[in-house]
Homo-oligomer: A and B are copies of this chain.
Amino acid sequence: MWLSINEKDNRPIYLQIINQVKEQVGNGTLKPGAELPSVRELAQSLGINLHTVRSAYLKLRDQGIIELRLGRKARIAHLPAPLNRRDAETRLKQSIKELVTEAQLTGLSRERLHRLIDQQMDVKKEE
C-alpha cells in the first residue's frame, strides 16, 4: 500500500493523508483519473476510522485534487487546479517566510537551503 500514518507525527492523521496524496499527485505517482481506495478500504488498511479518511478526502475534494461522486470511488481530478494561482502563491509566500525564519534561527546557510530544496525537487522527479 502506498500510504502510511506516523504515530509520532504531531500533525493530525487526516493531514498526513492529505499531504501524502498531494505528494504523489505532485510527482506523478498518482495520475489524473486514477482511483483511490474507498474510504472503508483505506481506513481498514491504516487501522483508523472511516470518518478520518473521509475528512481527508473531503478536504482534497475542496482543494480540487480529487473528485468524489456518490456511488463511485474517489479519483484524482483531471484538472490539477491551476486556478486560484494568486491565492496559492500568497499562501506559499507565507510558508516561505516561516521556512526562511527557521533556517536563519538554525544557522542554515542560504546555499544549503537552496540545495535542500533542489534535492527535494529532484527526488520527486525520479520517483
Partner-B contacts on A (CB < 8 A): 7, 10, 12, 19, 22-23, 25-27, 62, 65, 67, 69-71, 78, 80-82, 84-85, 88-89, 91-93, 95-108, 110, 113-114, 116-118, 120-121, 124
Contacts and interface: CB of A to CB of B under 8 A. Distances in A.
A22 B101 contact: yes
Contacts of A91: 102
A23 B12 CA distance: 26
Counting every copy of the chain, the complex holds: 4
16 contacts: A12-B71, A26-B100, A27-B104, A62-B62, A85-B106, A88-B105, A89-B106, A91-B102, A92-B99, A95-B95, A95-B98, A95-B102, A97-B120, A101-B124, A114-B117, A117-B117
Dominant SS among interface residues on chain A: helix
A70 B12 contact: yes
A96 B84 contact: no
Nearest to A11: B94
B104 A81 contact: no
